[in-house]
Chain A
């Protein structure tokens, strides 16, 4: 099956029962697959009138008590950003898949890129933390979509699956395990007296329990700066407290959220840093380089946001160079440079998008660096 279909199947396996979508190349197949499959499992699919409506309906779906998601690509991702902020501010679990295509603007709609990575981090206005995963294969998109749902439920926050046209449209073998081998998490449920319930009073892990609409908690959910009760409070102190809570629940759980995969770092003189489809390029390049006698390692970012800053900083202490491989003009490259903080040389292998990076391009850079 294709990556897009595997994504939809992963969502279903994770317990997603509401999808609000809008067609956009190259993410349409996710909506198509969900439109067929969701009613079969008792869920609901709706094609909304635009991407803004799609994400708004997903937030509504989440508060109705369902695991909810949408899938889009660059232009739709841009349109969704304001409501992503609402999702972050109101601590609404949901999953947004971005099957990245070439931008800016309409760009190359049918061709892949990885140029929305910074938008994923900073796309909505204001300060906030976000979780973004980057799968590199159809099989992995299946599992990462499940992980995305689990993280979003565990931390009550929107989670992005930042895939790309190449992974989305590539047909690969996907093994779907039996349901009992899939771990599905749910948002923490409130206990105790309903009239004393505080919607944003953090429990374990800094995350507050979340009731659904209709359960009798009379919640007030607002995108205004609010207190623990959820009531708007227009003060500097309330803003600081709310932001502290929103940031801490992510920052204090980095060990649980941040996932990386290391290849040959032990003796590496140069380390490739990559994610998504470019991770496959990088892995191939690493093996070629090692075969040619170059001491090259590879750090794959499974979670791109929060950024594995400590990991990169530690590597920067001991390697000759860090080479970021990504289909853009340098986005995660900037983060790598920031984390390396001048302790090692940082290089980018990237281009303006439309095709994968070939391992040869990486080898060429490695030769220059070594």
Chain B
């Protein structure tokens, strides 16, 4: 290489996602070993490679650790109230159907306080891609029990172990009418990225559950270091196509099923509204 060419070349190339992140806000708030960053990066890669017009692509988040995702994506991004990312996204999409709307939020936000909105958006087949980072607890507030915390797991509000059963999220999404449902862990980031990309390009309500460690708040109380959690993702998961939907509990004492569980088509909310309500004379 001639010396002059070397001079004009940047010393270090940029990170491939540099243009999609608000690098002036990096480092992000997520703890060392937290799975949100990986899932978020997968979502960004999927968006970048989806072929969609990124100017027309928005991210909406709720509240919580995962809810901070919207603050780091260099696109139109909305950090809303706790649990309300989906209805906000619904308004955004209905107001301008040309937008591609991705909801990125956590399990507490989407399935406890926001559970009602999730099932209704799935029922009406709103054209949204919902990515749920499931870290099995409320991380932002210090590790309280969530609607996804495994039975008997310890959190700050279940010091003797969780007496309740968690949601089976893919089953819930399927039963509510979602047209695309998948689950991966952050270790399976290639498959995860492919599925997010597929979900973004697909019309209708898509749901992707991403299992990711919360080492500081969940892991610490359940004797799991983040690397151990990832090893568990490696050793105690199985990829299964067409599984029984009621066999998808997140229970690492048994095997946790990963994969693409639902991929079907039905008319979206907007298509049905246009056909039913906009009767042209």
CA of A231 to CA of B84 in the docked complex: distance in angstroms? 20
Nearest CB in chain A: distance from B124 CB, A: 8
Map CB proximity to A onto B77-94 as digits: 1 under 8 Å, 0 otherwise: 111110110111111111
Query: In the complex the two chains form, is B95's CB within 8 Å of A214's CB?
Result: no
Residues of B within 8 A of A56 (CB): 80-81, 84, 87-88, 90-91, 117
Q: Which residue of B lies closest to A59 (CB)?
A: B88
Q: Is the CB of A63 within 8 A of B90?
A: no
Let me know if A212 is at the binding interface, CB within 8 A: yes
Instruction: Please choose the segment from B31-39, B68-76, B198-206, B209-217 that sits at the chain A interface, where 4 or more of its residues have CB less than 8 A away.
Output: B68-76
User: Would you call A60 and B273 a contact (CB within 8 A)?
Assistant: no
Interface of A is mostly: mixed
Please tell me if the beta carbons of A50 and B116 are within 8 angstroms of each other in the complex. Answer: yes
With A18-B91, A213-B92, A214-B99: A52-B84 Cβ-Cβ less than 8 Å:
yes
With A218-B76, A231-B25 in contact, is A64–B91 under 8 Å at CB? yes
- Verify A232–B71 contact, CB threshold 8 A: yes
Residue among B81, B91, B96, B99 making CB contact with A57, cutoff 8 Å: B91
Q: Report yes or no: A218 in contact with B75, Cβ–Cβ below 8 A.
A: yes
Additional A-B contacts beyond A48-B120, A56-B91, A57-B94 (19; CB < 8 A): A18-B94, A20-B91, A39-B273, A44-B94, A45-B277, A46-B273, A50-B116, A52-B83, A53-B90, A53-B120, A59-B91, A60-B90, A60-B94, A61-B95, A63-B78, A86-B80, A220-B22, A224-B79, A232-B79
Establish whether residues A82 and B81, one from each chain, have CB atoms under 8 Å apart when the complex forms.
Answer: yes
Instruction: Give every chain B residue within 8 A of A223 (Cβ-Cβ).
Output: 79-81
Is B278 an interface residue, CB under 8 A from the partner?
yes
Interfacial residues, chain B to chain A (CB-CB below 8 A): 22, 25, 55-56, 58, 60, 70-71, 74-81, 83-84, 86-96, 98-99, 116-117, 120, 273, 277-279
Contact B79 A220 (CB under 8 A): yes
Cα of A50 to Cα of B113 in the assembled complex, Å: 13
Residues on A with beta carbons closer than 8 Å to the beta carbon of B279: 39
A232 to B25, CA, bound (A): 10
Q: How far is the CA of A49 from the CA of B83 in the complex (A)?
A: 13
- CB nearest neighbor in B for A38: B277
Residues on the B chain within 8 Å of A222, using CB:
70-71, 78-79
- By a CB distance below 8 angstroms, the chain A residues around B84 are 52-53, 56, 83
Q: A60-B91, A64-B91 are contacts. A216–B55 as well, Cβ < 8 Å?
A: yes
The one of B56, B78, B86, B278 that contacts A39, using a Cβ cutoff of 8 Å? B278
Q: Name the B residues within 8 Å of A66 (CB-CB).
A: 95-96
Contact pick for B87, options A18, A53, A63, A220, CB 8 Å: A53
A142 to chain B, nearest CB (A): 24
Q: Are A214 and B94 in contact (CB under 8 A)?
A: no
Q: Does A306 contact B (CB under 8 A)?
A: no
Evaluate whether A53 and B80 lie within 8 angstroms (CB atoms) in the complex, with A64-B91, A64-B92 already known.
no
Measured between beta carbons, the chain B residues less than 8 angstroms from A68 are 91, 95
Residues of chain A within 8 A (CB-CB) of B116 are: 49-50, 53
Q: Which residues of B contact A212 (CB under 8 A)?
A: 96
Chain A CB within 10 Å — which of B22, B78, B117 has the most?
Answer: B78
A206 within 8 A of B: no
A residues less than 8 Å from B58 (CB atoms): 213-214
Give every chain A residue within 8 A of B60 (Cβ-Cβ).
60
A172 to B87, CA, bound (A): 35
Residue A221 is within 8 A (CB to CB) of chain B in the complex: yes
Q: For the complex, what is the distance from the CA of A339 to the CA of B241, rounded to whole Å?
A: 70
Q: Which residue of chain B has the shortest Cβ distance to A70 in the bound complex?
A: B91
Contacts A/B (CB < 8 Å), 11 sampled? A39-B277, A53-B90, A59-B80, A60-B91, A61-B92, A61-B94, A63-B78, A64-B91, A65-B96, A83-B81, A212-B96
